[in-house]
Structure 1
Amino acid sequence: MKNSSTTPKTMPSAVIERKPLSESGKSVTETPSKSSFDELYLKKDYKGAAQYLLDNKKQFESGIFHYNLGTVYSKMGDQATARFHLEKAIQDGYINSSSINNLAFVKSQLQVDDLSTSTSLPDQIISTATAIPMSGYFSIALFLVLVFTLMIRFKKIQKKWVMVVVFLLALTPVLFSNFYVKNINYAVTLKEIPLYEGPSKIFAEKGKVRAGSKVVLGQFKDGWFYIEFPISLSGWINKDQLGLY
């Protein structure tokens, strides 16, 4: 099954992130001979821009770092690696129209069968759960607490035991994210990877996992991961060429 989404009209674009200010209020600068990220990006020196980001990772917030790196890799045509970094940017809370558009563009270029395209209900549930950042679950919980507080204030809920149950329900998103979602191990395949029946190349090969596929990982054994989701890709893959979260 192919991804049926249409290609966005706008190509991926990076964020021009200025260097942080020092205590004196002056810009923190790097070695004068090095071009800054925005200069390299605007000159379309994408390889140089990627290297600049990797060399100066500490200058950027995590979400912006992965967003820019994912965008640059997309410009270079490495859509699998681009997807890994854009997914990571969103997971780290960098969620806006640009990050969503760039990820949609990359996914439309990859045309892979994975969590985001599966019609299986379990796959869709896991895909949705991993797409929401931790801050999103916290916001949902705060909204529910506010709603239930207003219900209690206006005496829509009066029994104490009901109040306790309601507040526990309000905390469910946070509990779910901390005790389940946070412990989910998922990855993006950076290259096409053979899928085996067991954790070794001595087992029969079941097929291939295409580059850029998002998978949820289960058991780990001697350098091999078992794919739990999507269900259609259940099997063992080597940890090499995996972008792990």
Structure 2
Amino acid sequence: MPITGASRKPLSENKELSFDELYLKKDYKGAAQYLLKNKQQFDSGIFHYNLGTVYSKMGDQATARFHLEKAIQEGYINSSSLNNLNFVKSNLQVDDLSTSSSLPDQFVNITTSIPVAGYVSFTLLLLIIFTLMIRFQKITKKWVMAAVLILAVVPMLFSFIYVKDVNHAIALQDIPLYEGPSKIFSEKGKVRAGSKIILGEFKEGWFYVEFPLSLAGWINKDQLGLF
């Protein structure tokens, strides 16, 4: 699991070890503390990527998944971040949004995993193609132009109307799932540590789990990593 973006120089005259040095010495706890103490030195995506990698080395795969998912959401998408996330998910082996066989769950997982910037880029690409089609007279009828233009901007509209407001979360430990927003209601199961879920309504410290559909119910906000 490679690391990236870390300062290789000590921060002060007392020869404080850098993140790279702590990581290579396998002092993963010290490396995590360094990252948390010096968060402002890192790009947000790189910070969460490095922290997720360190937590994975420490054996806390649930927290590792939260930070790696957060890194990807922040736009740090490359082979290292994707491979590390896949490694963590394989260790967790939870049945959640990303592994569900339900078509609604799969659709929501795919569409909400794409960063808003990805939707914007895709829309711009479609608009460029649309412009070229008009220029070379591949489209001449006005109603067809209007229909194609609407289709071109649908991805960006979808991202701004829905995707940007979706509340993802990772369960940082096994959390009981209830039929209502209180412990007075019957417990209907558990959300296993490391599970990826999408949250809906919030009531006095409780979230309703919207997806995956198999985990529909209420969960306490404690021990949830929100992103």
- TM-score, normalised with respect to structure 2: 0.96
Listed one character per residue, the Cα deviations across residues 55-83 of structure 1 (whole Å, up to 9, x for unaligned) are 11111001100000000000000000000
Query: CA separation in 1, counterparts of 2:169 and 2:214?
Result: 16
Alpha-carbon distance, 1:14 to partner = 1.7
Is the partner of 1:171 in helix, strand or coil? helix
Query: CA separation in 2, counterparts of 1:30 and 1:162?
Result: 61
Alignment of 1:176 with 2:165, yes or no, is no
Alignment of 1:215 with 2:204, yes or no, is no
- State the match for 2:213 in structure 1: 231
- State the match for 1:15 in structure 2: 4
- State the match for 1:88 in structure 2: 70
- State the match for 1:32 in structure 2: 13
Determine if contact 1:215/1:227 at 8 Å carries over to the other structure. Answer: yes
* Amino acid paired to 1:32: E
Alpha-carbon distance, 1:169 to partner = 1.7
The CA RMSD over aligned residues, in Å, is: 1.3
Determine if contact 1:189/1:242 at 8 Å carries over to the other structure. Answer: yes
* Amino acid paired to 1:152: I
Alpha-carbon distance, 1:133 to partner = 1.0
Listed one character per residue, the Cα deviations across residues 3-50 of structure 1 (whole Å, up to 9, x for unaligned) are xxxxxxxxx33224347xxxxxxx8x6223321111111111000000
Alpha-carbon distance, 1:164 to partner = 3.0
Determine if contact 1:16/1:38 at 8 Å carries over to the other structure. Answer: no
1:204 to 186, 190, 204: 186
* Amino acid paired to 1:15: T
* Amino acid paired to 1:214: K
Percentage identity across paired residues of the two chains: 71
- State the match for 2:124 in structure 1: 142
Determine if contact 2:5/2:42 at 8 Å carries over to the other structure. Answer: no
Count of aligned positions: 226
- State the match for 2:144 in structure 1: 162
Unaligned segments of structure 2, at least 5 residues: none
Determine if contact 1:70/1:85 at 8 Å carries over to the other structure. Answer: yes
Determine if contact 2:7/2:19 at 8 Å carries over to the other structure. Answer: no
Alignment of 1:120 with 2:102, yes or no, is yes
Runs of 4+ in 1 over 4 A off after TM superposition: none
Determine if contact 1:190/1:212 at 8 Å carries over to the other structure. Answer: yes
- TM-score, normalised with respect to structure 1: 0.89
Alpha-carbon distance, 1:162 to partner = 2.6
Determine if contact 2:171/2:193 at 8 Å carries over to the other structure. Answer: yes
Alignment of 1:50 with 2:32, yes or no, is yes
